[in-house]
Amino acid sequence: MATIIIDGQNYDLPEGAKFNAIQAARHFGIEIPYYCWHPALSVVANCRMCEIEVGSKDASGEIKMLPRLTPGCQTPVRDGTVLVTDSVKVLEHRKNIMELLLINHPLDCPVCDQAGECGLQDYSYSHGRAEHRFVEERNVKPRKEVSDLIVLNTDRCIMCTRCVRFTREITGTAELQVMRRGDHGEIAIFPDHPLDNPLAGNVVDLCPVGALLDKDFLHNQRVWFLSKHDTICTGCSTGCNISSEENAGKVWRHKPRHNPYVNDYWICDEGRYGYKSANAPDLLAGSYILDGGDHHGATSDRFFKRLNEDLTHRILDKQSVLAIFSPFLSVEEAFSAASWVKHLTNRNTMALGPVSVLGQDQTYSPDKLTGRSGDTSFLVPRPFTISAEKSPNKAGVSFVINHFQGSNVVSFEDALKLVPSNPIVIVFGGSPNSDWITPEQSAEIRKAERVILFDTTINVLADAADYVAGMATFAEKAGSYVNRDNRLQHFDAALPLRDGVWTLLDILAILRGVGRSPIESRTILAEAAEKILALAKAVGGQVPEFGLNLTGQDALIPDAGFQDDWTMASLAKA
């Protein structure tokens, strides 16, 4: 067992941990402020914010300290390592660094998007000095358009080179570089080579200050007005952990959340900007019944009554049901929907789709060497994949269907061929894209006697179906998805439900006659876990922070959970 001493206190390092001083201190709740270090990037130790006093304790118990300050990011901890993070020398040094970082800084926080989540603001407040001694002219540096989506304010840059290292070490695309020297240095792109790789947006999150900013978000919201909700990206079957940030009934941006088993610290740009469909103006806003060739809005009471009567009548007539499940449904939605279909009649067929697959999986596999500029001894490189399968829950929905109808899940394409033998077609949608179904496919389904659609967007099938119920979008619902690696992950709702719209869970509860009080997704998951073997690990509907590996055992990751978040970093100590 390795024991280290931080600020005079003994701590036992977790087994297998290869921590630097920042990680070790954070592990025990002690903050060492940092800028240039990032857990997924090589160590270059250029900002000098993380400096502490370092020493070691030998077998005889004698402690020897190094005479000079040492960067914590560059300091490995092992048995006997002594760290001092709170001495006058260390605290004074932090004040000096903060002063130096700000002498050429424009300090235009009132018009800076980063304000409120800025490493300079946070650390000025917690580690800075109240006065500054700089009375010279500040350097003036330009604002640069580095891509259609990202702007670079070089005057706010603190030259931590995180962004540069990201493009070299993670994406391997190397669009960014440093040009010029000394305090005239600037981050730059090569002319006509914009920063436009599929992961480019991550540099905005990596940037500790307001230098790299997202033009899509620029001047839209002050970040302190945003409420953050832990959700899962629905863009592909990777299931990146994201924070969906909302205010005034709109989602304004998606930010990655760290999950070492899934997306590490990143998301792709497609997922980042995937928030937009949550705010789409043309969502299904209520329930509709097709009458005399026209859709008429119906109160929910009327809608459920008519639908129930119609179905009961037809089921008594021994009409069979074809139920189509979208891979955008949550596990809970699929489970409730399948239960309802089963409850209606045993004469049913359950199909899954459409599952859209675009191109190939795109995997970034950083290693310890390629493109790395600094020390990589603390790094545990983790891959990142943008999946070709563009939906979040094919696996979860399959588990459910498998359970209800044995092992053969019918594909969407095969389902279309079954329409003639099934007078009732029920479609449980949920895709944020209104073009999830083509006019031809819609026409095929319309051949059924009764078409019932639960969905979020106005699309060709909604135009044709007999019963259309608007339901909660991906941003308005909570639940869980199972990703490509059979990891079950929970997500919260980001937006409140729009008036006139229900969650699919509530709709199904009413249709099943279970009740009219809002249904908790965790209750449904608990029930599913009891019934479905593949979901058995989700006992009581509980899903841990990094999700549940349904088919295997997770490797232990000692540094898991290190959020690279300035606001948290400074609040941790407060």
Residue 555: which residues within 8 A CB-CB, separation 6 or more? none
Regarding 207 and contact with ligand FES (CB under 6 A), the answer is no
φ and ψ of 557, to 5 deg? -120, 100
Does position 72 bind another protein by CB under 8 A? no
**Cα(426)–Cα(448) distance, integer angstroms:** 10
Cβ 106 to another protein shortest distance, Å: 10
Per the structure block, which two tokens stand in for 95?
């004040």
Task: Tell me: does residue 571 bind another protein (CB under 8 A).
Answer: no
- Picked from ligand FES, another protein, ligand SF4, none, the partner binding residue 101 (CB below 5 to 8 A depending on kind) is another protein
Long-range contact list for 519-526, CB < 8 A, 24+ apart?
519/336, 521/330, 521/332, 521/477, 521/478, 521/479, 521/480, 524/332, 524/335, 524/336, 524/479, 525/331, 525/332, 525/335, 525/479, 525/480
Amino acid occupying residue 111: V
Partner from ligand SF4, ligand FES, another protein, none binding residue 132, C-beta < 5-8 Å depending on class: another protein
Residues 251-280 touching another protein, rule: CB under 8 A, are none
Contacted entry of ligand FES, ligand SF4, another protein, none for residue 157, CB cut-off 5 to 8 Å set by kind: ligand SF4
Please report, in angstroms and rounded to a whole number, the separation of the first and last CA atoms in the chain: 31
Closest CA to 145 of 200, 107, 101: 200
Residues that bind ligand SF4 (CB under 6 A): 105, 107-109, 112, 114-115, 118, 120-121, 156-163, 187, 206-212
The binding track of 170-209 with respect to another protein, each residue x by CB under 8 A or -, is -------xx-xxxxxx------------------------
Instruction: Select from ligand SF4, ligand FES, another protein, none the partner in contact with residue 156, using the beta carbon and a kind-dependent cut-off of 5 to 8 Å.
Output: ligand SF4
45 sits near ligand FES (criterion: CB under 6 A): yes
The answer to whether residues 338 and 511 touch, using CB atoms and an 8 Å cutoff, is no
> Among another protein, ligand FES, ligand SF4, none, what binds residue 566 when CB lies within 5 to 8 Å by partner kind?
none
Residues 469 and 305: their CA atoms lie apart, in Å, by 13
Residue with tokens 């659609």: 453
Which of another protein, ligand FES, ligand SF4, none does residue 380 bind to, with CB < 5 to 8 Å depending on kind? Answer: none
CA distance 252 to 250: 6
Burial class from Cβ neighbours inside 10 Å (0-12, 13-18, 19+) for residue 164 reads: buried
Is residue 98 within 8 A of residue 130, CB to CB? The reply is no
What is the Cα–Cα distance from 391 to 411, expressed in whole angstroms? Answer: 15
CA angle 388, 390, 395 (to 5 degrees): 95
Nearer to ligand SF4, 206 or 400 (CB): 206
Question: Which lies closer to ligand SF4 via its Cβ, residue 71 or residue 396?
Answer: 71
123 binds ligand FES (CB under 6 A): no
Instruction: Name the minimum Å distance from CB 182 to ligand SF4.
Output: 8
Q: Which does 206 bind (CB under 5 to 8 A by kind): ligand FES, another protein, ligand SF4, none?
A: ligand SF4
Query: Quick one: 107 or 560, whose CB is closer to ligand SF4?
Result: 107
Question: Residues 258, 260, 266, 270: what is their CA dihedral angle, to the nearest 10 degrees?
Answer: -100
* Rounded least distance, CB 563 to another protein, Å: 20
Taken as a whole, the chain contains a residue count of 574
DSSP 334: H
Neighbours of 356 (CB within 10 A): 16
315 contacts which partner out of another protein, ligand SF4, ligand FES, none, CB within 5 to 8 A by kind? none
Q: Are 438 and 464 in contact (CB under 8 A)?
A: no
Residue 96 binding result from ligand SF4, ligand FES, another protein, none, given CB thresholds of 5 to 8 Å by partner type: another protein
Options 17-25, 41-49, 424-432, 467-475: segment touching another protein (CB under 8 A): 41-49
402 makes contact, choosing from ligand SF4, ligand FES, another protein, none, with CB < 5 to 8 Å by partner type, with none
What radius of gyration do the chain's Cα atoms show? 27
Q: Which does 538 bind (CB under 5 to 8 A by kind): ligand FES, another protein, ligand SF4, none?
A: none
| 293: DSSP letter | T
Q: What angle do CA 17, 19, 23 make, to 5 degrees?
A: 120
Residue from the set 19, 35, 325, 562 that interacts with ligand FES by CB under 6 A: 35
Closest CB to ligand SF4 among residues 207, 524: 207
Tell me the per-residue interface mask from 66 to 85 with ligand FES, x by CB under 6 A, - otherwise.
-----xxx------------
Select 128 or 396, whichever has its Cβ closest to another protein: 128
Residue 46 or 56: the one with the smaller Cβ distance to another protein is 46
- Site of interaction with ligand FES (CB under 6 A): 34-37, 45-50, 71-73
- Site of interaction with another protein (CB under 8 A): 43-49, 51, 66-71, 74, 93, 96-97, 100-105, 107, 109, 115-116, 118, 120-122, 124-125, 128-137, 139, 158-159, 161, 177-178, 180-185, 369, 373-375
